Amino acid sequence: MLGVSDAMKWQVVSAPDEADVIVVNTCGFIGPAKEESIDTILEMGRYKEEGRCERLVVAGCLSQRYADAMSDEMPEVDHFLGSSDMLKLGRVLEGEAARMLVGNPADYVMAAADPRRLTQSSHRAFIKIAEGCNRTCSFCAIPGIRGKQRSRSVEDICLEVAKLSERGVVEFNLVSQDTIGYGRDLDGRPTLADLVGAVSQVEGARWIRLHYLYPESLTDPLISVIRDQPNVLPYIDLPLQHASDAMLRRMRRGHGGKRLYRVVERLREALPDMVFRTTFIVGHPGETEEDFEELMAFVKWAEFDHVGVFLYSHEEDTLSGEMEDLVPDEVARRRHRKLMSLQRPISRRKLRERIGEELEVLVDGVSDESDFLMEGRWWGQAPEVDGKVYLANGTAQAGEFRQSLVTAAADYDLVADLLTADGAHDSPPDGLRPPRRRVQLKTVP
């Protein structure tokens, strides 16, 4: 939608009180996201009443899911777009659009020719390789919102990667709802391995990372392309959701807990240096203490590098949403805390083992923590979800790859000194040298 605005020569402003048109892009697949979206729409509605805003537009998954109810209850909204109607913002900006523009997600999948503006950073990008999902995980509302899987062609994805590479993007994070299922809906059935092999040949694609794999069909060709192509990172992002047989059955994941032990072992054998990210849901209906203890034992055994834990959200139009043996909220929260407390020292120990190591760090820019620090990530840290490397003692430009010596580690972040090309410690030009200071990294209590 930002790309559409740019293409139509609208200026994007950062403060809502400066905007003639406000677009709220919503999320609608779990309770807290829905609440946040609704609060934001109501808050933005006030700029229409009191400010210069002339039109309020609501887009995304919430309006896709609840189009009619929102239309009835939110008269202040001028236009509704769904989860796949981004290009229709053009009609809205032209001024001749209907109020209800929510379409069928099956009618659209993004293409390299669509206008695109990079947000946040000009050296990294997420590449949507497919839209929708054909699976039936019982807790998940996404297939109902996003529709069946529609994969983009290998050629179109490579074209987008090449275009972005020409604009200076060096890190490409391939995403979709079910990345391992890529290509099954296309003629000729190209596989994810075919796609990744092709993307790895695009000039300028220095880091390629795969997100949201499913613990099946991790084929030998896919593992080979990750192992053999130096620009395909051995970073495995595999949301496992749970580890107890009973819960995996209830969640309709299509496999049991033993499979997960085998998947981790197989990947560790094939990719000894891999960094493994996963996520779990606690508090799903029917989750007993025994189920939860099985999950704890699995996380303790696997020693993942990055773990995210989500509280179950009871959603209508899902199979789990009809289950009755709900886990009390305080029990789910306690399990959430317990699992995070188990993982924290694992993460800290793994990061401490890197002290003294030289890592290639992609510099993201000046740190949020201090203007005297830069921050970046080594390949084992994905943007937005994992920790960071805080870079001290030197100067660097956003988008640069820099050798750095790890000097300290916190629970989820590293601290490193920037090195010069000959391996010496970098030092900032005279006059720019910041006072030497101790950096206190935030740790989650």
End-to-end C-alpha distance for the chain, whole angstroms: 38
CB of 138 to ligand SF4, least distance (A): 9
Contact (CB, 8 A) for 43 and 77: no
| Token representation of residue 383 | 């943007």
CB of 214 to ligand SF4, least distance (A): 6
Tell me whether residue 178 or residue 364 sits nearer to ligand SF4 (CB atom).
178
CB of 256 to ligand SF4, least distance (A): 16
The 8 Å CB, 24+ separation contacts for 33-37 are 33/62, 34/62, 37/62
Residue 140 touches ligand SF4, criterion: CB under 6 A? yes
Residue 238 touches ligand SF4, criterion: CB under 6 A? no
Angle between helices 192-200 and 154-166 (to 10 degrees): 30
DSSP 8-state symbol, 274: -
**Sheet strands side by side (includes 275-282):** 124-128, 171-175, 207-210, 232-237, 275-282, 306-311
Contacts of 130 (CB under 8 A, 6+ apart): 109, 149, 150, 151, 152, 176, 177, 178, 179, 181, 182, 183, 185
Q: Tokens 């935030």 correspond to what residue?
A: 442
**Contacting ligand SF4 (CB under 6 A), which of 112, 130, 142, 158?**
142
**Contacting ligand SF4 (CB under 6 A), which of 177, 179, 343, 393?**
177
Residue 77 touches ligand SF4, criterion: CB under 6 A? no
CB of 307 to ligand SF4, least distance (A): 17
Radius of gyration of the chain from its Cα atoms, rounded to whole angstroms: 23
Q: Of 30-38, 98-106, 136-144, 185-193, which segment contacts ligand SF4 by CB under 6 A?
A: 136-144
**Contacting ligand SF4 (CB under 6 A), which of 28, 45, 82, 143?**
143
Tell me whether residue 208 or residue 281 sits nearer to ligand SF4 (CB atom).
281
CB of 343 to ligand SF4, least distance (A): 21
| Token representation of residue 28 | 């609608």
* Whole-angstrom distance, CA of residue 105 vs CA of residue 131: 9
Give residues 116-135 in contact with ligand SF4 (rule: CB under 6 A).
133, 135
Residue 251 touches ligand SF4, criterion: CB under 6 A? no
Residue 137 touches ligand SF4, criterion: CB under 6 A? yes
Cα–Cα–Cα angle for 17, 22, 26, rounded to 5 degrees: 125
Residue 105 touches ligand SF4, criterion: CB under 6 A? no
Q: Name the amino acid, one letter, at 356.
A: G
Tell me whether residue 172 or residue 310 sits nearer to ligand SF4 (CB atom).
310
Binding residues for ligand SF4, rule CB under 6 A, total: 9
Give residues 178-217 in contact with ligand SF4 (rule: CB under 6 A).
178, 214
* Whole-angstrom distance, CA of residue 211 vs CA of residue 237: 5
CB of 253 to ligand SF4, least distance (A): 8
Tell me whether residue 110 or residue 141 sits nearer to ligand SF4 (CB atom).
141
CB of 160 to ligand SF4, least distance (A): 22
Q: Which residues bind ligand SF4 (CB under 6 A)?
A: 133, 135, 137, 140, 142-143, 177-178, 214
